[in-house]
């Protein structure tokens, strides 16, 4: 009997899963989807082994990516990290994560990197996360204990909420 392989859809969840696998392989210690540790909901936050916070802004459509570029206050804060916004409010690196080929590198803001998600067509298809533009360092301060605690609490809550049913 021939086994059918379910097609992989590009959704926020499938992209988060692909990023999770990639970041684990790179040694990131805490990886939290839909996390509020910086005071707003980030699609995905990770903590590197050196205790730097990286944010991953997932965009499924070109219009969603373009709409994000109109958030002037958000981008002002990222561009001006050295003016005191620092590690309690912004990550040390910001990446946009998109389906491969959706936007050009030139469209990505200077303060952000780009990771493209590509479907790898092998005998067992999978989504690969490919850095096409490295993110610049927005600041060089390590994550404050409070931010690390919020990431950990977010992860614990997701596990608890997924396991404990009323």
Mean pLDDT of 123-146: 91
Please give the Cα distance from 158 to 35 (Å, whole number).
Answer: 10
Please give the Cα distance from 144 to 39 (Å, whole number).
Answer: 13
Tell me the CATH number of domain 12-163, given options 1.10.260, 3.40.1350, 3.40.1000, 3.30.700: 3.40.1350
At 87 the three-state DSSP class reads helix
pLDDT tens string 70-92: 887 777 778 777 666 665 678 99
Per-residue confidence (pLDDT) for residue 70, from 0 to 100 = 86
Per-residue confidence (pLDDT) for residue 137, from 0 to 100 = 93
Per-residue confidence (pLDDT) for residue 134, from 0 to 100 = 98
Domain ranges of the chain: 12-163
Name 95's bridge partners.
56, 113
Name the burial class of residue 114, with classes exposed (0-12), middle (13-18) and buried (19+) by CB atoms within 10 angstroms of its CB: buried
Cβ atoms within 10 Å of 7's Cβ, excluding its own: 7
CB neighbour list of residue 26: distance below 8 Å, 6 or more residues apart: none
pTM here is: 0.87
Find the farthest-apart pair of alpha carbons in the chain and give their distance in angstroms, rounded. 63
Of all helices (H) and strands (E), which one includes residue 51? none
């Amino acid at each position: 009997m021939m086994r059918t392989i379910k097609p992989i859809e590009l959704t926020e969840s499938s992209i988060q899963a692909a990023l999770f696998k990639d970041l684990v392989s790179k040694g990131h210690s805490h990886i939290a989807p839909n996390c509020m540790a910086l005071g707003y909901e980030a699609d995905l936050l990770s903590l590197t082994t050196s205790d730097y916070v990286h944010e991953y802004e997932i965009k499924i459509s070109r219009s969603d990516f373009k709409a994000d570029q109109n958030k002037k206050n958000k981008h002002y804060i990222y561009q001006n990290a050295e003016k005191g916004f620092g590690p309690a409010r912004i990550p040390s690196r910001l990446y946009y994560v998109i389906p491969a080929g959706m936007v050009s590198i030139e469209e990505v803001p200077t303060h952000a990197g780009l990771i493209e998600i590509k479907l790898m067509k092998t005998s067992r298809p999978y989504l690969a996360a490919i850095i096409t533009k490295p993110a610049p360092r927005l600041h060089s301060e390590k994550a404050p204990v409070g931010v690390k605690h919020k990431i950990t609490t977010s992860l614990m809550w997701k596990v608890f909420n997924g396991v404990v049913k009323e």
